[in-house]
Amino acid sequence: MLVAPDAGAPSARLSRYLRQEVKRDQFGPLVFFVDIHVFQHRQRLSKPVRDKAPAGWIRLRLVAHRILVVDDEPANVELLKSFLVDVADEIRGLTDSKAVEQTFSDFEPDLLLLDLHMPEPDGLEILRRLRSARASLGFLPVIVITADDRKVARNSALLLGADDFVEKPLDRQEVRLRVRNLLNTRHLFKEVTRTTGSFPRVERPEPT
């Protein structure tokens, strides 16, 4: 796909176009050449463009992120989705923790936001059940959502593979920053794995 320059088109137009037109994994790894300043005309190619970029153009790799939100309170799910609407390309919410394993397998998220205290199975049990699936992916971050500030709760989640925590009541800026940081790490992990053919080592937070 090429996006040709036009002096009258704002850069925001590219973002809108790519969000609307490009589907996740449509061509495998997606590589585009785009003008760095202006974007208007476009032409779809039959395969990703991987050759030398034309003069005055830059190479851009699109990254599509999926987030799965699990909380037994519908209001919390909707609140988190509203916080992250422009952070991820697709967000799916669940209030029934019994459906997490199947949804995780079908949806293939890049990050999981998981409430700790829910009707069975609770957040800790979900972490146990997803341990094998997450290990097979190398690094798939989980942020635990909790109002429980006890050290034992955090340590239990860390021992089961949680990567970060967000405390209730939820703060929009904190949620966005923590999610973005881990999505960036997830993307880098996938890029290194794609390049080297093996999972890089990832250091996880330790219980205290």
Per-residue pLDDT tens digits for 123-168: 999 999 999 999 999 999 999 998 888 889 889 999 999 999 999 9
The answer to whether 152 and 160 have CB atoms below 8 angstroms apart is no
Q: Residues of 50-82 as b/e, b for ≥16 C-beta within 10 angstroms? A: eeebeeebeebebebbbbbbbbbeeebbebbbe
* Residue closest to 72 by CA, chosen among 113, 131, 128: 113
Residue 204 lies in a domain: no
Please report which helix (H) or strand (E) contains residue 69, including its range.
Answer: strand 66-70
Hunting for tokens 């590219």 — which residue is that?
A: 14
Same domain, 31 and 96: no
Count of the separate structural domains present in the chain: 2
What is the reported pLDDT for 114?
98
Same domain, 54 and 91: no
Same domain, 13 and 91: no
Q: Which domain holds residue 57?
A: 2-61
* Residue closest to 147 by CA, chosen among 123, 124, 169, 171: 169
Measured distance between the N- and C-terminal CA atoms of the chain, rounded to whole angstroms: 49
Q: What's the CATH code of the domain at 145? A: 3.40.50.2300
Hunting for tokens 């790519």 — which residue is that?
A: 18
Same domain, 26 and 86: no
Same domain, 108 and 191: yes
Same domain, 97 and 53: no
Contacts of 55 (CB under 8 A, 6+ apart): none
Same domain, 31 and 46: yes
Same domain, 56 and 144: no
The residue that leads in pLDDT, 130 or 52, is 130
Mean pLDDT, range 95-111, rounded to an integer = 96
Highest mean pLDDT of the ranges 33-47, 50-64, 149-163: 149-163
Same domain, 32 and 83: no
Same domain, 124 and 145: yes
pTM score: 0.70
Same domain, 168 and 71: yes
Residue 160 lies in a domain: yes
